[in-house]
Amino acid sequence: MPVDTVSEERTALGREADDRVQILDADGAVLDDAAVPDLADDQFVSMYREMWLARHLDERAISLQRQGRLGTYPSLAGQEAAQIGSTHALADEDWILFQYREHGAVVTRGLSHEYLLYWMGHEIGNEWLADRNVFPLNISIGSHLPHATGMAWASKLKGEDRAFVCHFGDGATSEGDFHEACNFAGVFDVPAIFFCNNNQYAISMGRGRQTASDTIAQKASAYGFDGIQVDGMDPLATYEVTRQAVQKAKNPEEGQMRPTLIEAMMYRFGAHTTADDPSVYRDDEEVERWKRWDPIPRMEGFLRNRGLVDDESLDAIHEECREIVADVIDESMTYDPNPEQFFEHAYEEPTPRVREQLAEFQRLRERHGDEALLEDE
Ligand SMILES: Cc1ncc(C[n+]2csc(CCOP(=O)(O)OP(=O)(O)O)c2C)c(N)n1
Ligand SMILES: [Mg+2]
């Protein structure tokens, strides 16, 4: 990645949209003239722990899907730094809206077995997120961006002190919802941060065919607010850029607009989802090139250089993460769903048609029993 750094003189947000912010080199050494964020040592270690936890959860989730114990699942490997670095810059009262791949942002707010339940097909996994100020997951691309603008606008009108960080992909920037959300965010000057996880692909569609713009960050200038490109595989850089964006969202200086569009440059190491075969549209050599920037060994390098971890403490972190994930999986497997829940989540109050369908389903269960209903033809 190009070697641009955050220096104290040049704050991250006062840059051109193609002037990428980076703090760590590929091995985790601090770049010359880069300013390391002012965080306590245990915060740096937490960032590493959460990235490792998220990667491990990812590996286990893919394995569960292969065993038929989890539904279709989108892998986050390679994208941890953007999700975890940026979430570390938020206060608990700030909201996160995410697409579907940002498990790392969720993990940073605390991992519950209910999150896995969502990926097993149970909507209850979305209910739990609200308690952590995380908006429900959004499979339909771009649809949550206008909600981010609306929530941020409402919050501003209520005089709250919150920021709304909305994660989405490079593919989502081609949706009308992206344009509408950014446009109104600018018009109403709302405390929203549009965080684009540019992982170079929208399924098989490469970034080069997504937009003719040089960068995604530069699109912000059309809406009248700051756009900034950051090395999305550098957790310290994503932390710092988000921190400055949050500060501006909540307390803009004279003449500053509250919203920010952050384009985090990264790469998805794995398949788009467990239903995808990436070898059809990209070659291994490209994947290997990007793995050089893997955020986890990079953060490990930074921590070792600072004397914050050694082999022993790293082993203990990994063991702790394995236990957390194993417990969460065990607990999720004990869930005994009632199939009538199918009818519960589309509407606050069921419509007459939904009530009819539920009654018909109940009649079928009574007449045939669950076993017969679940039998494969
Ligand atoms: C409105 C809509 N159109 C199409 C799809 C099918 N679809 C699922 S994922 C995806 C690609 C999204 O790419 P991007 O926004 O870059 O996110 P990424 O998967 O790379 O994280 C598409 C087109 C969808 N889910 N919703
Ligand atoms: Mg993408």
- pLDDT surpassing 60 at residue 250: yes
Cβ 361 vs Cβ 340: under 8 Å: yes
Residue nearest to atom 7 of ligand 1 (CA): 141
- Pick from 141-155, 251-265, 316-330, 361-375: least confident: 361-375
- Residues 365-374, mean pLDDT to the nearest whole number: 87
Report the pLDDT value the prediction gives residue 298, as an integer from 0 to 100: 98
List the catalytic residues: 268, 272, 281
Report the pLDDT value the prediction gives residue 1, as an integer from 0 to 100: 52
pLDDT level of residue 345 (50, 70, 90 thresholds): confident
Residues 6 or more apart whose CB falls under 8 angstroms from that of 63 comprise none
C-alpha 220/C-alpha 243 separation (Å) is: 18
b vs e for 147-185, b when ≥16 Cβ sit within 10 Å of the residue's Cβ? Answer: bbbbbbbebbeeeeebbbbbbbbbbbbbbebbbebbebb
- Residues 21-26, mean pLDDT to the nearest whole number: 97
- Residues 30-50, mean pLDDT to the nearest whole number: 96
Say how many Å lie between the CA of residue 61 and the centre of ligand 1. 20
Report the pLDDT value the prediction gives residue 346, as an integer from 0 to 100: 81
Cβ 80 vs Cβ 231: under 8 Å: no
Q: Is residue 187 within 6 Å of ligand 1 at its C-beta? A: no
Cβ 200 vs Cβ 207: under 8 Å: yes
Q: Which atom of ligand 1 is nearest the CA belonging to 140?
A: 26
Q: Is residue 102 within 6 Å of ligand 1 at its C-beta? A: no
Gyration radius of the chain's alpha carbons: 22
What DSSP state is assigned to residue 196? E
Q: Is residue 201 within 6 Å of ligand 1 at its C-beta? A: yes
pLDDT in tens, 3-13: 344 444 456 67
- Residues 249-255, mean pLDDT to the nearest whole number: 96
- pLDDT surpassing 60 at residue 356: yes
Q: Is residue 196 within 6 Å of ligand 1 at its C-beta? A: no
pLDDT level of residue 215 (50, 70, 90 thresholds): very high
pTM (two decimals): 0.94
Cβ 142 vs Cβ 178: under 8 Å: yes
Give percent of the chain with pLDDT exceeding 90. Answer: 87
Say how many Å lie between the CA of residue 121 and the centre of ligand 1. 19
- Which residue from 141, 167, 173, 273 has its CB within 8 A of the most atoms of ligand 1, so it is best to mutate? 141
State CA 74 to chain mean position distance: 11
Q: Which atom of ligand 1 is nearest the CA belonging to 141?
A: 26
Q: Is residue 170 within 6 Å of ligand 1 at its C-beta? A: yes
Report the pLDDT value the prediction gives residue 125, as an integer from 0 to 100: 87
Q: Which atom of ligand 1 is nearest the CA belonging to 79?
A: 21
State CA 218 to chain mean position distance: 21
- Residues 177-191, mean pLDDT to the nearest whole number: 98
Pairing of strands 164-169, 95-97: parallel
C-alpha 252/C-alpha 231 separation (Å) is: 24
Q: Which atom of ligand 1 is nearest the CA belonging to 198?
A: 16
Q: Is residue 199 within 6 Å of ligand 1 at its C-beta? A: yes
Report the pLDDT value the prediction gives residue 5, as an integer from 0 to 100: 45
Task: Tell me which ligand sits closest to the C-alpha of residue 79.
Answer: 1
Report the pLDDT value the prediction gives residue 8, as an integer from 0 to 100: 44
The torsion defined by the Cα of 22, 27, 29 and 35, in degrees rounded to 10, comes to 20
C-alpha 181/C-alpha 146 separation (Å) is: 4
State CA 128 to chain mean position distance: 17
User: From residue 369, how far is each of 35, 178, 343, 375 by CA, in Å?
Assistant: 65, 47, 18, 11
The one-letter code for the residue type at 269 is: F
